[in-house]
Amino acid sequence: MSSSLTPAIDQLVRCLRYLPGVGAKSATRMALNLLERDQGRAADLAIAISDALTRVRRCSRCQNFCEADLCSICESPKRDDRVLCVVESPTDVLAIEQTSDYSGRYFVLMGHLSPIDGIGPEDIGVDKLKQLLQESAVSELILATNPTVEGEATAHFIAHIAKDLNIPVSRIAHGIPLGGELGMIDSGTLSHALQGRKPFA
Ligand SMILES: [Zn+2]
What is the CA(66)–ligand 1 centre distance, in A?
A: 8
**pLDDT tens by residue, 80-131:** 999 999 999 999 999 999 988 899 999 999 999 999 999 999 999 999 999 9
pLDDT of residue 3: 46
What is the CA(73)–ligand 1 centre distance, in A?
A: 6
7-55 adopts what CATH topology? Answer: Helicase, Ruva Protein; domain 3 (1.10.8)
pLDDT of residue 6: 95
pLDDT of residue 136: 87
Q: Which residues contact 70 (CB under 8 A, 6 or more apart)?
A: 59, 60, 61
Cα 47 to Cα 42: distance, rounded to the nearest angstrom: 9
What is the CA(93)–ligand 1 centre distance, in A?
A: 11
**Residue ranges matching CATH 3.40.1360.10 in the chain:** 62-199
What is the CA(62)–ligand 1 centre distance, in A?
A: 4
DSSP β-bridge partners for residue 80: 104
**Residue ranges matching CATH 1.10.8.420 in the chain:** 7-55
pTM (two decimals): 0.80
Q: Report domain 62-199's class.
A: alpha beta
What is the CA(65)–ligand 1 centre distance, in A?
A: 8
**pLDDT tens by residue, 146-197:** 888 899 899 999 999 999 999 999 988 756 676 777 777 778 777 767 777 8
Q: Could you give phi then psi for residue 189, rounded to 5 degrees?
A: -65, -40
pLDDT of residue 178: 66
**Helical spans, DSSP H, in the chain:** 7-16, 24-36, 39-55, 72-75, 90-99, 126-135, 149-164, 187-195
**pLDDT tens by residue, 64-88:** 999 999 999 999 999 999 999 999 9
